[in-house]
Amino acid sequence: MQLIYLVIDLWLMCSCQLTSSSAAFSCPDRYVSVGSYCMYYDGSYLSWNDARHRCMSDGAHLPVIDTVTKRDLFINFLKRYGSPAVWLDGKDTNGKNNWIWYSTGVSIASYMWKSGQPNNYNNVQEDRAMLFHKGVAVSDYPCDLSLYLACEYDPGSVAKTTGGNSNGAPCVLPFNFKGTVYTICTSRAHDKPWCATTSNYETDRKWGVCVGPEVWLGGKDTNGKNNWIWYSRGVSVASYLWASGQPENIRNSVEEDCILLQVWRTHGFHDFPCSLKFNFVCEYDPDGNWGIWGSWSSCSLSCGQGLRSRTRLCVYPVPAGTGKPCPGADRQTEFCFPGQCPVDGAWSVWTHWSTCSKTCDQGNKTRHRACNSPPPSNGGKGCPGQLVQVETCNGQPCPAKLCPDGFTEVTDSLCLYISDPKTEAYNYFLSMKACSSLSPLSHLLTVKNRYEYQNVVRFLSATAEYWIGDDSASSSNSLNNGGTKLGGGGGGYTIWAFGYPSARSPTDCVELSGKSGAFLWKGAPCWETRPFICALRPKDSMAPIVG
């Protein structure tokens, strides 16, 4: 049956005539020819059901826009009226996007829809089709709302009649007869195909015998033995397409090697002698033509170099019959680069171990590495683990310490504690106590010889004056030669500044001052504050020399 519909459709689209005096079809009053179709724009603003019934009253239906060619013709037709949005014949039969052309029962091709349609916008049930007036594709729309009305009248349905009681009036389809709706002529209750000639047959009973065109088809019996094929394609003619009792292959002793379609009178093909003359149908098998490319897909990778693709459809038009397919590929692929990939950092090799931090006893040694092989980049992770490694190292046992903590070894027999001039300055007597608190054997410094003097002054600040000596054993309160122990019987070493010691001075305490350019012994008031120098002689079993 699909081939029958194709043949009828082609007859409507491009019927050719043996004589130029007879028209292929005619449109009813108010309808205009649009290509091979009859269209009418009503301008009424109706719901989908009301619009459908209005068209049915003319024996027509809402427009069926099932091909790209027909869509373009219909768009141009609507431009005459300002390109309004009009109802189409499409319907979602179950509310689950099962879209068909209601008057034919054929599914609506997906490529006819506008991009993103059908969509049930805002969750509103949109179960009818419409034509979006600013575009060239089909959209869904709620059926209870109103749009403008246009109707389509199938030229083949304008069948002329003869006999009956309608004086040759054309058929009005569909029509009701005893509870059944007929969309084509029927032989029920009559011996010939007939149809109603008004929209209300049940009331007025107007009818006539159907008269339809008779057209040659492209089938042929190639050997006179019912070897029927479609001649241009070499494909066998399906048996179910024939009318009852056909093909019979002979009529009045004449071979019938060609196929005739008698529209409205029969429901199938008849074989006829090829020498007879009838109308014929020209069928053109169009070559395929590509639609526009779709959008590019997402890149196959989120970073670095990947691939993306896009496709196109061979539907403008779809190649038919012997038509050539669309040339070229339906898919394009190209490289894409969404961005650099993150690079995690990696460690370099370890450096050599350092030397031990101590030359004797236990110390530490270290080694390093860098996060640069490669360094992290583009948001990559840093290197896990440690930048530095530390290990213990052991040397020879260290010799015994000469000086206790806080004391500096000046010679191999002398340890000094030198107070900080800024933070640790006392009067003479507190300085003595400070030395005693450091060690029981610690006293204010007395110098034994020039060797010690030269080693001591290396550690002193030239701008400071330090308390030295120890006068605690003297009962004198002066610095005269008989009153001080410095330079006395202990055999100590001194270098007095000019004018010191002086019997006229009331002072009785000794300082070591470097302000004159050399460290010299001077006298100073004992209550004044000075930094001080404590001496410790660990190897000397004798008490320190007191000045």
91, 143: one domain:
yes
Q: What is the mean pLDDT of residues 457-466?
A: 91
pLDDT of residue 82: 82
Q: What is the mean pLDDT of residues 42-58?
A: 82
pLDDT of residue 501: 81
pLDDT of residue 283: 78
Q: Which of the given ranges, 7-21, 68-82, 214-228, 334-348, has the highest pLDDT on average?
A: 334-348
Boundary (domain end) residue, out of 211, 233, 250: 211
Q: How far apart are CA 25 and CA 279, in angstroms?
A: 12
pTM of the predicted model, to two decimals? 0.33
42, 145: one domain:
yes
Q: What is the mean pLDDT of residues 94-112?
A: 81
138, 110: one domain:
yes
Q: State residue 389 phi and psi, 5-degree precision.
A: -115, 140
Question: Domain range for residue 198?
Answer: 160-211
165, 95: one domain:
no
Residue 526 lies in a domain: yes
pLDDT tens-digit series, residues 534-547: 999 887 644 443 33
Q: pLDDT band at residue 451, thresholds of 50, 70 and 90?
A: very high
pLDDT tens-digit series, residues 400-450: 778 888 899 999 889 999 999 999 999 999 999 999 999 888 999 999 999
97, 147: one domain:
yes
Residue 272 lies in a domain: no
| CATH code, 295 | 2.20.100.10
Q: Is 54 exposed, middle or buried (0-12, 13-18, 19+ CB in 10 A)?
A: middle
175, 144: one domain:
no
| CATH code, 137 | 3.10.100.10
193, 146: one domain:
no
Residue 184 lies in a domain: yes
Q: Which two tokens stand for residue 506?
A: 């009331």
Residue 399 lies in a domain: no
Distance of CA 317 to the CA centre of its chain: 34
Per-residue CA distances from 178 to 9, 201, 249, 340, 471 (Å):
30, 10, 38, 76, 150
417, 525: one domain:
yes
Q: Which residue has the higher pLDDT, 448 or 173?
A: 448
Q: Which two tokens stand for residue 59?
A: 């024996």
Residue 197 lies in a domain: yes
112, 200: one domain:
no
175, 115: one domain:
no
Residue 541 lies in a domain: no
Count the Cβ atoms, other than its own, within 10 Å of residue 82. 8
Count the Cβ atoms, other than its own, within 10 Å of residue 413. 14
- Residues 20/134, Cβ–Cβ less than 8 Å: no
Boundary (domain end) residue, out of 156, 174, 193: 156
Q: pLDDT band at residue 349, thresholds of 50, 70 and 90?
A: very high
Per-residue CA distances from 492 to 53, 371, 446, 498 (Å):
139, 64, 7, 19
DSSP string, 4-57: HHHHHHHHHHHEE-SSTTS-S--PPTT-EEETTEEEEEEEEEE-HHHHHHHHHT
Q: pLDDT band at residue 332, thresholds of 50, 70 and 90?
A: very high
Q: Which two tokens stand for residue 61?
A: 């239906």
Q: Tell me whether strands 279-281 and 15-16 are parallel, antiparallel or unpaired.
A: antiparallel
Q: Tokens 């179910």 correspond to what residue? A: 240
Instruction: Give the strand order in the sheet containing 414-418.
Output: 408-411, 414-418, 533-536, 443-444
pLDDT tens-digit series, residues 271-305: 878 887 777 778 778 899 999 999 999 999 999 99
Q: Which of the given ranges, 44-53, 99-108, 115-124, 425-434, has the highest pLDDT on average?
A: 425-434
Boundary (domain end) residue, out of 111, 131, 156: 156
pLDDT of residue 122: 56
Enumerate the β-bridge partners of residue 408: 416
Enumerate the β-bridge partners of residue 208: 195
pLDDT of residue 542: 43
Three-state SS across 270-301?
EEECCCCCCEEECCCCCCCCCCCCCCCCCCCC
Mean model confidence pLDDT for the chain: 79
| CATH code, 203 | 2.10.10.10
112, 197: one domain:
no
118, 167: one domain:
no
**268 pLDDT exceeds 50?**
yes
Number of structural domains in the chain: 4
pLDDT of residue 532: 96
Q: Which two tokens stand for residue 405?
A: 């903590």
pLDDT of residue 31: 85
pLDDT tens-digit series, residues 503-523: 666 567 899 998 888 899 988
Helices (H), 275-374: none
DSSP string, 3-19: HHHHHHHHHHHHEE-SS
Separation of first and last alpha carbons in the chain: 140
pLDDT tens-digit series, residues 220-241: 888 878 889 888 888 898 887 8
Q: Which residue has the higher pLDDT, 5 or 55?
A: 55
- Residues 132/85, Cβ–Cβ less than 8 Å: yes
Residue 394 lies in a domain: no
Residue 236 lies in a domain: no
Whether the CA torsion 495, 496, 501, 506 is positive or negative: it is negative
pLDDT of residue 137: 65
pLDDT of residue 130: 63
Residues in the chain: 547
